[in-house]
């Protein structure tokens, strides 16, 4: 295809105009993930899918229809529209979001997301698809557990660096009730500061420098009743 000059009107053969859409082709994406999702697929139209945060008690529902992409067969010929059904769209939204997430195995440990062919309501979901909802909750719990274990390891290996802990791990700890985790606190409250004795970066939450072992905050050390090996 020959290139066009700047300011030249686009070739009308290459306009992406959708044909009639089947109004019955709908699927429902269900989310019990306690965070909102925005999936953007620039190669299809429509290609922006936003799912609100949900929970097991109040799942979030997104009804999707078919989308289309266009293929060029021959030069100077109109683009060919390739429709993609709602079932494929729903499956793609979930897989594209979950694939590659830390701790997600795309099987029995993954975010609580699934889709159901057809347009359903919350009442319909709780009445006729409760097994899918229960299975999503168990999968999400296993994913949350994996995220917490990963965060514990990263926290220990980084000597308490809050930047090493992913936000999803903090979300998982809050959802499963692990409020005593030292890394669950706000990053801003646990930013690293230089040690007054050696200059190494240290976590101000702890009274002792992990590098030079100097007691920086004697008051906090006494409150914690710390004992040191001789």
Same domain? 37 vs 132: yes
Write out the residue range of the structural domain in which residue 196 sits.
192-230
- Output the pLDDT for position 9: 45
pLDDT tens string 165-192 = 999 999 999 999 998 898 987 655 556 7
For the chain, how many structural domains are there in total?
2
Structural domain contains residue 178? no
pLDDT of 145: 98
Quickly state the pLDDT bin for 5 (edges 50, 70, 90). low
pLDDT in tens, 64-91: 999 999 888 877 778 888 999 999 999 9
Does any domain span residue 230? yes
Is there a contact between 206 and 192 (Cβ–Cβ < 8 Å)?
Answer: no
Sequence-ordered alpha helix ranges (H) in the chain: 86-98, 122-128, 130-157, 167-176, 218-223
Do both 113 and 52 map to the same domain? yes
**Is 25 a residue whose pLDDT tops 50?**
yes
Question: Are 29 and 123 part of one and the same domain?
Answer: yes
161 in any annotated domain:
no
Contact indicator for 71, 83 with CB cutoff of 8 Å: no
Q: Mean pLDDT score of the chain, rounded to an integer?
A: 88
Q: Angle at which helices 130-157 and 167-176 pack, to 10 degrees?
A: 120
- Please say which residue of 99, 124, 140 terminates a domain: 140
Residue that the structure tokens 């949900």 belong to:
54
**43 and 136 together in one domain:** yes
Return all residues near 164 (Cβ < 8 A) that are at least 6 apart: 154, 155, 157, 158
Given a cut of 80, whether residue 2 has pLDDT beyond it is no
Q: pLDDT of 29-57, one tens digit each?
A: 999 999 999 999 999 999 999 999 999 99
pLDDT class for 1, splitting at 50, 70, 90? very low
């Amino acid at each position: 295809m020959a290139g066009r000059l700047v300011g030249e009107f686009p070739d009308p053969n290459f306009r992406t105009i959708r044909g009639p859409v089947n109004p019955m082709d709908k699927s429902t994406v269900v989310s019990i993930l306690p965070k909102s999702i925005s999936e953007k697929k620039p190669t299809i139209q429509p290609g922006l899918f936003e799912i609100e945060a949900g929970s097991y008690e109040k799942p979030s529902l997104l009804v999707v229809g078919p989308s289309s992409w266009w293929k060029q067969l021959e030069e100077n010929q109109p683009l060919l529209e390739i429709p993609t059904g709602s079932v494929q769209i729903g499956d793609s939204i979930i897989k594209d979001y979950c694939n590659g997430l830390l701790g997600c195995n795309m099987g029995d440990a993954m975010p609580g997301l699934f889709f159901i062919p057809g347009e359903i309501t919350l009442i319909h979901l709780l009445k006729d698809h409760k097994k899918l909802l229960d299975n999503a909750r168990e999968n999400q719990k296993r994913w949350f557990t994996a995220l917490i274990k990963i965060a514990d390891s990263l926290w220990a290996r980084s000597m308490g660096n809050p930047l090493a802990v992913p936000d999803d791990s903090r979300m998982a700890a809050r959802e499963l009730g692990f409020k005593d985790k030292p890394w669950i606190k706000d990053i801003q409250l646990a930013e690293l500061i230089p040690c007054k004795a050696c200059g190494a970066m240290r976590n101000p939450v702890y009274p002792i420098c992990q590098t030079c072992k100097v007691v920086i905050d004697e008051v906090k050390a006494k409150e914690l009743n710390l004992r040191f090996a001789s």
